[in-house]
Amino acid sequence: MPGYSALLARKGQVVWAAHYGMADDVQRVPLSEDSIFRVYSQTKVVTGVALMMLFEQGKWHFDDPITKYIPEFEHLRVFKQQNQDGSLELEDLQRPPTMRELVTHAAGFGYGLGKDTPVEAAYWNDHYMQAANSDAAIAKLAELPMASQPGLHWHYSAAVDVQGYIIERISGQRLDEFMQNHVFGPLGMTDTAFHVPADKWSRLVRLRAYDSTTRTLVDASDPVLVLDYSKPPAVASGGAGLVSTVHDFARFAQMLVNDGELDGVRILSPAAVKLLCSNQLSEQIRSTPGEGFNHDSGWGFGVDVAVITDQAKAGTLRPAGSYEWGGAAGTWFWVDPVNDLIFIGMIQVMNRWGHPQLVNIDKDSAALVYSALVEPDGAQH
């Protein structure tokens, strides 16, 4: 990998922070502590926090149908099969997805990160994130087929972008404005945003991708994921749009492990943080074989975060109750409330899951951290 930044903190104190290698391995620009990374799907956790802020205000409830906030979704259709001529046979929605299903990727939406199924191909070709505004993005999604009926499967999806549109409709603010006013500003996250201004552009890390054929790093060219950060987006993506730094995201994670507060500023109540990181998946969804989370994996899903429910089944040194998420370019983080610990890791290599050394970098970092934690909280002395 060209460069690697990471930060480990326990009980509010930085234990270790490091910045190795190059921010730009072509121009030979060294990585620094203020290098800016595309965090892609790590954005989802920030959107989950923003949504929980509105939950605390009584603006929505977990069992509300999402059509309460987006009536355009009342006539969604669900993929049934692909006909021989390539057309898609669809069926009516049996019921609208609930907010609980939306925050756990169980609502039934597709995503379009690839073209391996007819539904994913339809999302791939639609480019809903490039719409002129959030209403136009909603209109695009309303015409796309659902991958399944609500509440049947965990399927990684556009659900968190939909949450962003709901935040806008409930709050009356653009998503980027809401997050700046209620999350980034209060937490002092000065380098976290949906775009990189000109005076910070030189700090943006070069985006590379692993080419599994040549086994080399090349410039990323994925038309869906290579976003333009030079100006504010027409529609802020609650699922994948943010850039940040290791230290900025550490402030966000520290707020979470502190039960919603940092440096005298409260973002969420302790009860709201606990709900955010509690498993929200029904047993029916968790027992579904195939993609995603099931009752034998040791993993559940909270509000836009994966949650360890059984340490042994998950096969990790991290304790049950830890929660995490990451991004497409190789960023990852976790929060461990049991040991009052956070870890942030950031690289900028797409397709790291195809790279033999980088595929398990998040798991390997966890093994290193917990092998060094010889006095965990709750241990007998």
* Assigned domain for 122 exists: yes
CA 145-241-32 angle, 5° bins = 150
Structural domain tally of the chain?
2
| CATH code of 309's domain | 3.40.710.10
**Are 35 and 77 part of one and the same domain?**
no
**Are 73 and 152 part of one and the same domain?**
yes
**Are 202 and 266 part of one and the same domain?**
yes
pLDDT at 380 (0 to 100): 42
Confidence (pTM): 0.96
Residue at token pair 């890390």: 205
* Boundary (domain end) residue, out of 114, 137, 171: 171
pLDDT at 378 (0 to 100): 53
Successive 10-residue mean pLDDT values, the chain, 381 residues: 96 96 96 97 98 98 98 97 92 97 96 92 92 96 96 94 98 98 98 98 96 92 87 96 98 98 98 97 77 82 97 95 97 97 97 90 95 75 35
Give which of 61, 100, 45, 52 is closest to 323, Cα–Cα: 45
**Are 154 and 204 part of one and the same domain?**
no
* Boundary (domain end) residue, out of 171, 190, 210: 171
Residue at token pair 């605390």: 56
CA–CA dist 326, 344 (Å, integer): 10
CA 58-59-60 angle, 5° bins = 95
**Are 163 and 195 part of one and the same domain?**
no
pLDDT at 147 (0 to 100): 95
**Are 138 and 268 part of one and the same domain?**
no
Residue 18 phi/psi, 5-degree rounding, is -150, 150
Structure tokens, 268: 């969420």
pLDDT at 381 (0 to 100): 35
**Are 215 and 165 part of one and the same domain?**
no
**Are 72 and 197 part of one and the same domain?**
no
**Are 274 and 316 part of one and the same domain?**
yes
**Which residues span the domain enclosing 131?**
66-171
pLDDT at 291 (0 to 100): 66
**Are 39 and 147 part of one and the same domain?**
no
Residue 92 phi/psi, 5-degree rounding, is -70, 155
**Are 139 and 231 part of one and the same domain?**
no
**Are 107 and 37 part of one and the same domain?**
no
pLDDT at 219 (0 to 100): 94
| CATH code of 155's domain | 1.20.58
* Boundary (domain end) residue, out of 171, 194, 225: 171
Q: Radius of gyration over alpha carbons of the chain, in Å?
A: 20
- What is the phi-psi region of residue 121: left when phi exceeds 0, alpha when psi lies from -120 to 50, beta otherwise? alpha
